[in-house]
Amino acid sequence: MLIEAQVRQPCRDCPILTWDHEHGRFGAVDIYRAEAGLPADLASFQLEGRLEAPILLLNTTSFPPGTFAQARLLGALSLNRSDQREHPYPTDAWLFVAAAEVDSLFSRYQSLQELPPSKLNALKAYAQSRSQELQQQGNDAVQVCNADSAARFIRETRLLLKREQRARPKGKHRPGRQEEEKPVAWRAVEGLAEALRLRLQYDAMLQQDKNAPHAQSI
């Protein structure tokens, strides 16, 4: 399964670019300094425009925050959440892992089991640390599901979201999860500097301008 991931927090230092309308070119405005110890870029992908699911994006380099990239789903790691909602979606308890399609190294892999053991262990260790922070307890082993199972969780969640949308009375609006609570990626953008957040919001507005090229990976 191919998904479109949006990078929230790169795992390596990378330049921050913006579009210069006056001169019709990109310009470097800052250098993003990555948090130490991340095993991959922290990203997310949208489901039916209402829900965001967290994803670890594998790549030999890092994309700047806000960048969109096509990625091949490799599987998912359990988060072992204890705060289950009344009607949880199948994607809720999983941290998905995908490889950037533009990357000639990681795009060769078809599943998590094919990754080098050191890389897979680093991903599992990160998932376990996030699980412990979310639960504030426990030390359960991280479960690994393959690409087919991960894709099934995504399809089932999309189906549930579509059913909920169709079940809503026409003309009435009930806030979705994305409106009630900001999307996940474990609040990845909360660690960004305020100036960088404002820059990302500004760049997002520029992307809607038909005269400005989209700063997306191709």
Residue 188: which CATH number? Answer: 3.90.80.10
C-alpha–C-alpha distance, residues 110 and 132, integer Å: 28
C-alpha–C-alpha distance, residues 188 and 27, integer Å: 25
Interior angle at CA 158, CA 5 and CA 99, nearest 5: 25
The answer to whether residue 218 sits within a structural domain is no
**Which residue is associated with the tokens 């790169």?**
10
The answer to whether residue 213 sits within a structural domain is no
3-state secondary structure at position 180: helix
Structural domain including 142 reads 2-207
153 or 201, which is more confident: 153
Domain total in the chain: 1
Predicted TM-score of the model (pTM): 0.72
Q: What pLDDT is attached to residue 210?
A: 52
Q: What is the pLDDT of residues 6-25, one digit of tens each?
A: 999 999 999 888 888 888 88
pLDDT greater than 80 at residue 197: no
Contact 9, 38 (CB under 8 A): yes
Interior angle at CA 190, CA 107 and CA 212, nearest 5: 60
Q: What pLDDT is attached to residue 77?
A: 93
Question: What is the mean predicted confidence (pLDDT) over 50-66?
Answer: 91
Q: What pLDDT is attached to residue 157?
A: 92
The answer to whether residue 212 sits within a structural domain is no
Q: What is the pLDDT of residues 115-148, one digit of tens each?
A: 999 999 999 999 988 877 766 455 568 889 999 9
Going by pLDDT thresholds of 50, 70 and 90, the confidence category of residue 176 is low
Q: What is the pLDDT of residues 47-56, one digit of tens each?
A: 888 888 999 9
